Chains A and B, each alone.
Chain A
């Protein structure tokens, strides 16, 4: 059921295999196809709480498969507006649709300029090729 390998070009990427979809002063965050493929089928998502502040390059949650636990790194700083309850209930959603239904959190950005330091899709594909 896992998705095939894609990296949408309307997203910004972080070298630790996380993505951000920027929508005005908010952003939706998640993990990339590469990350879910390396982990295998997800069995658990440990999210932050709504209202928490998360910081760019810091850990804001965990995803877990049978063989590994991975920290989820925030590509941007912000206040958590929403946690994706569907992924909490059915973590494998991330494997099936990492960029759509498998989103992890929605944040209000506290420092939108940080987006400039993120990778575009070509730069991120380069990171994947090296890994």
Chain B
């Protein structure tokens, strides 16, 4: 498929602007643009065709089953899109007077309250733009808390699990902490004996997700919390897996002091091909003074932004956070109300059902009930037929499914992490299971078919090594028929290529 630049013709344009009879703008010579940027030149119908064609080469939740473990690819309700586009939300400037923004401020306040209720903690900031920014915020909160107590020098280490999502150690480094890793035991829990050896008065805290990235609830969570609290350290909850336990077990009750929630996972903000998201943090009351500024507070029937926060860590993002995301998540939470519990129950039911159907054909590293996701291994397929998790993933595409997460968590070789979510019908789960079982048989009978997969997508398997070597990260324009001055190649009809 051509790039939009390859469809561009000098002199074409999409939109036109109103003209006013005014003295023209005068840019000083030394600041004026010399050469126009080579933006695409297409009329509007061609622009719409181009992006429509691109969309047909993409697969979303709307297209089909998308069981990416740790991503919670649930249905994104359409009414939320309509609500986020109400002019009162869509066209509101962030610096509008507070008395003229009460609807927006109230929505945010109510969302804060809902997240506080779901987490079992006391105060919330909606500011962080995504989960990993929430993590960094949480770590900066820890820093500020310990500095306030005169323990800043002393507390220099954060402990993460070896199953942790890569954002955890990256955030630790960005926050200026040292990183230590605790091992996972044979049941998939944090190895408490190993943990006890590691935790001391130099420990600032723990970063953990529960259930873990293995999809397992840590059976020793109460003991773990005690180990950290005994030495005056804090616990941070990575909310990526909250979809398993809403209304069933709250991170605050598990002993966590700081929680980030992924609004684009648990609370249905569409992923948009990579973002936007939202990563609000919820904290125990002793951490409230350090939350990002401004804080959103309620005074009777009025809502206002409080900038007088002397102990705040500062600002992690512009303004008060991604408001459009708040509209969608708030709407989602109000749709369910207390039935969020049922959402989690069905997420867990769907995952365990799929696990029951697949466990005979794939290796199961931890033989326990799953929560909302589970991890299988393709290591037997690799050993017996030379087929990897990657090959399985590519072949699943031919069956019309998006593959699960592969090669994560790192503690499981040839990992396949499957998270169906609660919005899938049983028939879809059965079709997926049938496909996975068929692929296991194909691994034995026709492994080359898998190694050459996918066969049914717009492209064949793509060469990632070549991409890294060439590092071509933008269009070169030297090939452009118009802008390079080269002679145009004779046109060849797409459908005739390869004949």
Residues of A within 8 A of B (CB): 40-41, 43-44, 64-66, 91
Contact = CB atoms under 8 A, between A and B. Distances in A.
Contacts of B465: 40-41, 43, 65-66
Contacts of B469: 43-44, 91
Nearest to B463: A66
Contacts of A64: 468
Pick the 5 closest A-B CB pairs, nearest first: A43-B468, A66-B464, A43-B469, A41-B465, A66-B468
Contacts of B468: 43-44, 64-66
Interface in B465-499: 465, 468-469
14 contacts: A40-B465, A41-B465, A43-B465, A43-B468, A43-B469, A44-B468, A44-B469, A64-B468, A65-B465, A65-B468, A66-B464, A66-B465, A66-B468, A91-B469
Given A40-B465, A43-B465, A66-B464, 11 more contacts: A41-B465, A43-B468, A43-B469, A44-B468, A44-B469, A64-B468, A65-B465, A65-B468, A66-B465, A66-B468, A91-B469
Contacts of B464: 66
A111 B276 CA distance: 54
B390 to A, nearest CB: 11
Contacts, number: 14
Nearest to A90: B469
A44 B468 CA distance: 8
A83 to B, nearest CB: 19
A44 B469 CA distance: 7
A99 to B, nearest CB: 22
Contacts of A65: 465, 468
Interface of B: 464-465, 468-469
A48 B465 CA distance: 23
A38 to B, nearest CB: 13
A91 B468 CA distance: 11
B468 to A, nearest CB: 4
A66 B470 CA distance: 12
Q: Choose among A40, A43, A64 the residue with the greatest number of B CB atoms under 10 Å from its CB.
A: A43
A4 B464 CA distance: 23
A41 B467 CA distance: 12
A40 B465 CA distance: 9
A109 B465 CA distance: 35
B321 to A, nearest CB: 33
Contacts of A43: 465, 468-469
A20 to B, nearest CB: 28
A41 B463 CA distance: 12
A65 B468 CA distance: 8
A66 B468 CA distance: 7
B382 to A, nearest CB: 15
A44 B466 CA distance: 11
Contacts of A40: 465
Nearest to B466: A43
A91 B464 CA distance: 15
A43 B464 CA distance: 10
Nearest to B470: A43
A21 B464 CA distance: 33
Contacts of A44: 468-469
Nearest to A66: B464
A41 to B, nearest CB: 5
Contacts of A41: 465
A61 B464 CA distance: 23
B170 to A, nearest CB: 13
A41 B465 CA distance: 7
A65 B465 CA distance: 7
B169 to A, nearest CB: 14
B51 to A, nearest CB: 29
A64 B465 CA distance: 11
A40 B464 CA distance: 12
A69 B137 CA distance: 27
A64 B464 CA distance: 13
A67 to B, nearest CB: 8
B405 to A, nearest CB: 15
Contacts of A66: 464-465, 468
A65 B469 CA distance: 9
B481 to A, nearest CB: 31
A89 to B, nearest CB: 11
Nearest to A64: B468
A59 to B, nearest CB: 16
A41 B464 CA distance: 10
B238 to A, nearest CB: 23
A44 B471 CA distance: 11
A69 to B, nearest CB: 11
A49 B480 CA distance: 38
A44 B465 CA distance: 10
